[in-house]
Chain A
Amino acid sequence: MRGKPLLLALFVAGCSKGPDADLQYIGEARSAAAEWALVNDQAAQGRLSGAYVTSMHKWLRDDLQTSLSSLTERNSVYGAEIQALLLQPDDAAPEALRAHAARLKQIEDSLESA
């Protein structure tokens, strides 16, 4: 049945640990951080409605939380970055958020080329 190969793959994926297994979540967190920065940037320029900004903040935070929970190595450098991101206020400065995103991107790139 269709479910079996999926379950098998998930099992295999779940069994692997370490930075390589976390690569997907590092990328997701990087993207969420970059988008958060973009949203705050546009909001500061008055281009977005309040409801939209509040909503996007909530969903992006959810995403970051999910990425963090999915990590196999939470006490890593990238784990710490994501936790630091989650501590940021909703209306954090875009530059600060981009800095986190850039660091995550560096980690992502170095893992991918390894």
Chain B
Amino acid sequence: MNPLELTLGIMTAVGGFVDISELVFAAKAGSTFGYALIWAFALATIGIIVFSEMSGRVAAVAHQPVFSLMRHRLGLKLGLVTLAASMIANLITCAAELGGVALILNYMTGAPYLLMAVLMALVMVVSIWILPFEWIERIYGLLGLFMLVFAAALIAIHPPWHQIAAGFVPHIPAGLSTKEMLKFGYFVVAITSAVMFPYEVYFYSSGGIEEGWGIKDILTNRVTAILGMGLGSTLAIAILASSAQLFGAANVDPVIPGSAALEAAIPFGKWGLVVALLGMLFAVAGAAVETCLANAYSIAQFFGWIWGRHKKPWEAPRFTLTWITLFALALAIVVTGVDVMTLVEFAILFSILVLPLTYLPLLLLAGDKKYMGKHVNGPLAKILGWLYFAIITAAALAAIPLYILTSGGNS
């Protein structure tokens, strides 16, 4: 294990953890339910750690990313359904992230939202074209570390730490009306979806192939998944906790992504605001890049095309044309003027519905001795894997009813 590589990997994961959906839902969860939803973030983070570790291990041992093997395990028809569903979910997510980036630039500079969307789409396409894979991941991830200001901001406002600690224990707050209970349930489902977005596993496993992982990298993969995502989730939880204290008390239910930046401005003033906005910009931009590439990986791997940013763009032409087209489609969605919050809500809804189909092949593959040899799922991975599969299936089944009954969490 190369310590520098490991540290960079962890820091990249921390900086890249938060995306527009987690940002928005952390702030909303805090203002609406105080510290009571911290456990939802923690629980979902354990889930994404489990599946990221698994997908990285499959990439390192079988040298195949998840989607390549998915067609073989699920068969062509079910595989195609999964591909179509995850394509739609990832595209909506990409549009939400792109819209989020445009919004954040608007907060920072006042420049028109649509112009910023077009500009940032171009910047991201150019950056993916020019930079090799490691640089793409590293630059967006490490610059996302500006998000650490949110952790500092929480400490600076002297929150009730014992209440925050109590929030980690899974519970439903007492005294909720039926309507509030449904809303709480919707938030739990939404947070699970936002933290465990399908694109993360596709990107992570394809990324492992891009970086040429082998058996020697299994431990690095495990440590990066646990520490990187674990620490990254503390940033989301910090946003939640600050929101509980600052927004909840002020009767504010933030629906604009820009509201989160106030959490850093209140304790630290202008520089806190600027650093928070920069962190949000790079974290969300990184997510836009990842969702787009994850979609391109899925499509190329499913149809058997040459894929990967470890190849030059002209060496994997259909893959290149795919990710450029996907960015154009995401931009088209943003340009229709649909609200970023609406995109976030649909991204969350579609993603949770796709999640069980996404994780099932991964679970089966990582537990298959034929592919994994002695690195097959051990008892802990098996138990956690199937437990979380049950959890996300339950969440997927509850998602649409809860969405309708709570008017998308706005009731």
Contact = CB atoms under 8 A, between A and B. Distances in A.
B251 A30 contact: yes
Contacts of B258: 52, 55-56, 59
Interface stretch (B90-98, B154-162, B228-236, B264-272): B264-272
Interface in B190-235: none
Nearest to A56: B258
Nearest to B341: A63
A46 B269 contact: yes
Contacts of A6: 400, 403-404
Given A51-B109, A52-B108, A63 B255 contact: yes
Contacts of B107: 51-52, 55-56
Contacts of A13: 407
A46 B251 contact: no
B410 A28 contact: yes
Contacts of A37: 250
A27 B110 CA distance: 28
With most chain B CB atoms within 10 A of its CB, the pick from A9, A31, A42, A101 is A31
B336 interface: no
B108 A51 contact: yes
B116 to A, nearest CB: 11
Contacts, number: 86
Given A51-B110, A52-B261, A56-B107, A34 B252 contact: yes
Given A6-B404, A24-B411, A47 B269 contact: yes
Q: How large is the interface on B (under 10, 10 to 19, 20 to 34, 35 or more residues)?
A: 20 to 34
Interface residues of A, number: 33
Contact of B256 (A48, A56, A105): A56
Contacts of A34: 250-252
A89 interface: no
Interface in B239-288: 247, 250-256, 258-259, 261-262, 265-266, 269-270, 272-274, 277
B106 interface: yes
Contact of A55 (B110, B255, B403, B407): B110
B252 A5 contact: no
Nearest to A36: B252
A60 interface: yes
B265 A42 contact: yes
Given A35-B259, A47-B273, A63-B256, A105 B266 contact: no
Contacts of A105: 251
Contacts of A86: none
A49 interface: yes
A38 interface: yes
A88 interface: no
A112 B407 CA distance: 16
Contacts of A5: 400, 404
Nearest to B110: A51
Contacts of B272: 47
A85 to B, nearest CB: 14
A76 interface: no
A54 interface: yes
A9 B403 CA distance: 10
Interface in B392-411: 400, 403-404, 407, 410-411
Nearest to A39: B262
Contacts of A24: 407, 410-411
B313 to A, nearest CB: 36
Interface of B: 106-110, 177, 247, 250-256, 258-259, 261-262, 265-266, 269-270, 272-274, 277, 353, 400, 403-404, 407, 410-411
The 4 lowest CB-CB distance pairs between A and B, nearest first, are A51-B110, A31-B253, A9-B404, A47-B269
Given A38-B262, A42-B265, A55-B258, 19 more contacts: A2-B353, A5-B400, A6-B403, A6-B404, A13-B407, A24-B410, A28-B255, A34-B250, A35-B250, A35-B256, A38-B250, A46-B269, A47-B265, A49-B274, A51-B107, A52-B277, A55-B107, A59-B258, A112-B177
